[in-house]
Amino acid sequence: MKDVTTAVVTGGNRGIGYAVAAELVRRNYHVVLVTRDRERGERAAAALGGSADLVVGDLSVLSEVRSVADGLLRQCGHIDVLVHNAGIWPSRLVHTPDGLERAFVVNHLAPFLLNHLLEERLLANRTRVVQVSAGLYIKGRLDLNRTPVGADFHQMRTYCTTKLANLLMVPLFARRWQGAGVHIDAVHPGVIRTDLGDPGGVRGLLLKAVKRSWAAPGQGAAPVVRLALSSGGPSGRYFDVDQQVPLEPIAADPAMAERVWDQAMTLTGLSGVA
């Protein structure tokens, strides 16, 4: 019988992810942070004390997503909570070693692939999965031919579009896990003061000045933690902070969702996997 409750938080070394991890540690969870940078991850884990461990991997590279999953399976005999928090707002077009646009991988394909690679462990533990989303998904314009490779790259719209692609998957995972005890919800945590989208330079300094009036990461973590600790309720919900709201039609198109799922299966090398 397990004697500790374990939560995995991707992008857990700063911002909302770190605030989520800190609150879960405060509630006596053992937290495993997934971070791209080892040094920053180690500092974050140390600051959280003996209740935090670390798995390092770049979630923009599909082979490293697989390595992260392997690391989590080795470190976590069980996973009670999985928080997909890692995300990027790209300021320029960057292609990954897989030839894909970087935000498309981090914001969409990485959580999709992790859900599959960890699925056996999730099913065994009736895990609660929380997907940190963004209300800006409504501005997304998904082109299955152009978006994955950044042919339609735009400094704002690419973030919105990749969040839309990710959100389209949530109802399908809820349906896949229906009756198996694994629960998934998505949440827009609000407009929060983090480094997300900072372009650097003069524009970056101006944006930081604007962000001073935005809510602190701890406030953004609160609705994420609430869902992580929740029990009961239907799966596949979307929350705007603390309020459950229906998905806008652009994210509630079942035919498009199926197409995005099938493409993600192919791009992640999962085609042929049940």
- Kindly report, residue by residue over 247-265, the tens digit of the pLDDT: 999 999 999 999 999 999 9
Name the residue range of residue 191's domain: 5-267
User: Please, which pLDDT band fits residue 46 given cuts at 50, 70 and 90?
Assistant: very high
* 82 falls within a domain: yes
Active site includes 159?
yes
User: What domain count does the chain have?
Assistant: 1
- Give the per-residue pLDDT at 211: 37
* 185 falls within a domain: yes
- Give the per-residue pLDDT at 205: 41
**CB contact at 8 A, 114 and 69:** yes
- Give the per-residue pLDDT at 95: 98
- Single-letter residue type at 49: G
Selecting among 18, 29, 137, 159, the annotated active-site residue is 159
- Give the per-residue pLDDT at 44: 96
- Give the per-residue pLDDT at 271: 85
* 153 falls within a domain: yes
Residue 196 has pLDDT above 80, yes or no: no
Helix 217-229 to helix 15-26 angle (10° resolution) is 50
* 87 falls within a domain: yes
* 148 falls within a domain: yes
* 122 falls within a domain: yes
pLDDT: which is higher, 2 or 34: 34
Domain with residue 215: its CATH number is 3.40.50.720
* 258 falls within a domain: yes
Percent of the chain whose pLDDT exceeds 70: 88
Residue 73 has pLDDT above 60, yes or no: yes
Mean pLDDT across the chain: 90
pLDDT, tens digit, 9 for 90 and up, residues 128-164: 999 999 999 999 999 999 999 999 999 999 999 999 9
- Give the per-residue pLDDT at 219: 83
Residue 1 has pLDDT above 80, yes or no: no
* 16 falls within a domain: yes
